[in-house]
């Protein structure tokens, strides 16, 4: 019986598809990601299911929409009884390992991974919980602000560089350790970087790969408040954006640093791909590359994520099979909830037909192996975090995108004729039927009033738990990686000759 393939999932943070050469960017330099795209299946219209870190990741891993699992924001718990890709693959005979960020909130910091070789970059408690009962208030100690843009530069050490250096090193070492292991199970290795998430800063050698004058500026420029939708206005207030908050040169610096951060991550990916080649794993490993959400990067005068505009909600998704024979580009809409059923399908898991919990996505294997797929496929994204005051929903069907939130006027965009999303068609008579049909898709997906009540109750519970947990003795949920130093490298209960022979790659036989 042929062993199922190994699976390597690489995830970047806040990487918009439009920033990559394989999605048309003429400036960015990312040769290793380019090579994956050349030999893999590139999904040109892939979306996250919630444009903010933790909910997007929980949704991706579970294959369920965030409203179903109540993953409302970056302070929401990921319940331990929600099956994940790691649970399903482990149940099917895979060894599972996580290196890097996954932003798990709650006491369970593994969620099906047997091993987690780094801690996380973000806190695991409920501290980052918004408060919809006080929509005008800012939580200054964790909300975004415009300093990330104003302070953008080359920088040899940052919090994020420290973290991703560790993630890259541990991931490469794990690949070599898997090759030296006597465990013959296939592996599912997740490597998740925090770059190119803001703050926008990259090492000088990556900054210097770019001509500063060649850095492209936002296509749309700063759209005045009176011409912007209400949700975007709330986002601007949340991160203190205004017409004079940043200069054009600071915008260029931020985009320059962001591109450098992509090149920095691309180098890390190159090291992992080399390790796969060194060990021969490249012959039987499916590689998936994606991101949790995008970044507005100044388009329309917006930054970061939390928006349903393309730069924020559309993500890169590349799936490369070992021989690259399926290489193609597909334009039909897909989303990250499709990854769970896809990886179950690739691994041959019997759970695909009878999952332990509902799977909201569909396997992409028929698209990978076959043709273009259904252009009318429905993709849904949700948002309930800071900057919102009620549940927000996005529906993508064919060429149209529809955005709904009860307090605000609806939005409808024709992405073929209006890729910059500058003309709202929702209230035009000729598009009345399209808008009605897509609004029905929102209501068929969820009851916005019921979800709003769930969010408010969840926020209230979590605020109390967080405040109480900070009084008196504090017990952390943050993950601390295990390290058995007594069995690492050479110790006197081991045979030096065996240690050295076992550690060599390639082996001397």
pLDDT band at 502 (very low <50, low <70, confident <90, very high): confident
330 pLDDT above the threshold of 80: yes
22, 48, 97, 103: the active-site residue: 103
Within-domain flag for 380: no
- State the average pLDDT over residues 173-183: 96
Return the pLDDT at 503: 82
DSSP 216: P
Cis check: omega of the bond before 135, within 30 degrees of 0? no
Return the pLDDT at 464: 97
**Cα angle, residue 394 at apex, residues 393 and 397 outer, rounded to 5°:** 145
Within-domain flag for 172: yes
Structural domain tally of the chain?
1
Contact in structure between 312 and 326 (CB atoms under 8 Å): no
- State the average pLDDT over residues 112-127: 96
- State the average pLDDT over residues 325-333: 91
Contact in structure between 124 and 476 (CB atoms under 8 Å): yes
Residues ≥6 apart with Cβ < 8 Å to 68: 358, 360
- State the average pLDDT over residues 220-247: 96
Render pLDDT for 242-292 as a digit per residue (tens, 0 to 9): 999 999 999 999 999 999 999 999 999 999 999 999 999 999 999 999 999
The Cα–Cα gap between 109 and 103 comes to: 9
Contact in structure between 239 and 143 (CB atoms under 8 Å): yes
Return the pLDDT at 375: 66
**Pairing outcome for strands 153-154 and 6-12:** unpaired
Return the pLDDT at 150: 97
pTM of the model: 0.96
500 pLDDT above the threshold of 90: no
Render pLDDT for 429-475 as a digit per residue (tens, 0 to 9): 999 999 999 999 999 999 999 999 999 999 999 999 999 999 999 99
pLDDT band at 501 (very low <50, low <70, confident <90, very high): confident
Return the pLDDT at 68: 97
Domain range for residue 298? 6-374+452-503
Tell me what the pLDDT averaged over the chain comes to. 95
Residue 160 maps to which CATH number? 3.40.720.10
Within-domain flag for 429: no
Render pLDDT for 1-59 as a digit per residue (tens, 0 to 9): 478 999 999 999 999 999 999 999 999 999 999 999 999 999 999 999 999 999 999 99
Return the pLDDT at 485: 86
The Cα–Cα gap between 11 and 292 comes to: 7
**Is residue 392 annotated as a catalytic residue, yes or no?**
no
Q: Is 471 helix (H, G, I), strand (E, B) or coil?
A: coil
16, 22, 48, 53: the active-site residue: 53
- State the average pLDDT over residues 464-492: 90
Q: Supply 108's token pair.
A: 């369970």
Q: How many beta carbons lie within 10 A of that of residue 456, not counting itself? A: 15
DSSP-assigned letters across all residues of 324-378? -TT-EEE-S-EEGGGHHHHHHHHHT-GGGTS-SS---S--SHHHHHS----TT-E
The Cα–Cα gap between 239 and 81 comes to: 35
The Cα–Cα gap between 314 and 47 comes to: 4
- State the average pLDDT over residues 166-194: 97
Residues ≥6 apart with Cβ < 8 Å to 203: 154, 155, 156, 161, 260, 264
Render pLDDT for 365-399 as a digit per residue (tens, 0 to 9): 999 998 766 767 899 999 999 999 999 999 999 99
Within-domain flag for 271: yes
509 pLDDT above the threshold of 70: no
**Is residue 103 annotated as a catalytic residue, yes or no?**
yes
- State the average pLDDT over residues 68-73: 97
The Cα–Cα gap between 193 and 289 comes to: 11
Q: How many beta carbons lie within 10 A of that of residue 163, not counting itself? A: 20
Nearest partner of 113 among 92, 90, 134, judged by Cα: 90
Instruction: Please state the φ and ψ torsions of residue 130, each to the nearest 5 degrees.
Output: -70, 170
């Amino acid at each position: 019986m042929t062993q199922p393939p190994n699976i390597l999932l690489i995830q970047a943070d806040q990487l918009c598809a439009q920033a990559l050469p394989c999605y048309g960017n003429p400036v960015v330099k990312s040769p290793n990601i380019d090579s994956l795209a050349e030999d893999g299946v590139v999904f040109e219209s892939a979306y996250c299911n919630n444009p903010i870190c933790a909910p997007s990741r929980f949704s991706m891993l579970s294959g369920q929409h965030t409203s179903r699992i109540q993953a409302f924001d970056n302070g929401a718990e990921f319940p331990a009884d929600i099956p994940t890709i790691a649970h399903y693959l482990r149940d099917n005979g895979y060894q599972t390992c996580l290196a890097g960020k996954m932003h798990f909130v709650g006491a369970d910091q593994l969620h099906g991974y047997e091993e987690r070789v780094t801690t996380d970059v973000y806190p695991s408690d409920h501290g980052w919980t918004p408060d919809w009962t006080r929509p005008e208030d800012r939580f200054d100690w964790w909300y975004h602000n415009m300093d990330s843009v104003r302070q953008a530069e080359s920088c040899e050490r940052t919090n994020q560089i420290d973290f991703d250096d560790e993630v890259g090193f541990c991931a490469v070492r794990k690949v070599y350790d898997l090759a030296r292991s006597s465990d013959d199970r296939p592996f599912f290795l997740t490597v998740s970087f925090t770059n190119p998430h803001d703050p926008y800063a990259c090492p000088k050698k990556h900054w210097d790969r770019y001509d500063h004058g060649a850095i492209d500026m936002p296509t749309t420029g700063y759209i005045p408040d009176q011409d912007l939708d209400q949700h975007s206005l709330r986002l601007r207030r949340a991160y203190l954006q205004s017409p004079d908050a940043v200069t054009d040169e600071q915008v260029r610096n931020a985009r320059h640093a962001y591109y450098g951060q992509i090149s920095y991550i691309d180098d890390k990916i190159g090291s992992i791909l080399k390790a796969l080649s060194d060990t021969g794993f490249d012959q039987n490993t499916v590689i998936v590359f994606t991101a949790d959400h995008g970044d507005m990067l100044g388009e329309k005068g917006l930054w970061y994520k939390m928006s349903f505009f393309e730069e924020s909600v559309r993500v890169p998704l590349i799936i490369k099979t070992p021989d690259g024979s399926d290489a193609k580009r597909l334009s039909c809409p897909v989303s990250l909830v499709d990854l769970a059923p896809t990886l179950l399908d690739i691994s041959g898991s019997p759970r695909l037909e009878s999952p332990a919990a509902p799977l909201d996505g569909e396997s992409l294997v028929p698209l990978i192996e076959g043709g273009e797929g259904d252009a009318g496929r429905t993709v849904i994204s949700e948002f309930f975090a800071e900057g919102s005051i009620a549940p927000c929903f996005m529906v993508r069907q064919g060429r149209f995108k529809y955005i709904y939130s009860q307090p605000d006027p609806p939005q409808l965009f024709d992405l073929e004729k209006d890729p910059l999303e500058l003309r709202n068609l929702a209230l035009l008579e000729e598009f009345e039927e399209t808008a009605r049909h897509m609004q029905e898709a929102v209501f068929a997906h969820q009851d916005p009033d019921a979800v709003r009540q769930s969010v408010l109750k969840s926020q209230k519970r979590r605020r109390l738990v967080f405040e109480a947990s900070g009084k008196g003795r504090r017990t952390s949920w943050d993950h601390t990686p295990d390290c058995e130093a007594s069995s690492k490298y050479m110790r006197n209960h081991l045979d030096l000759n065996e240690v050295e022979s076992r550690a060599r790659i390639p082996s001397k036989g």
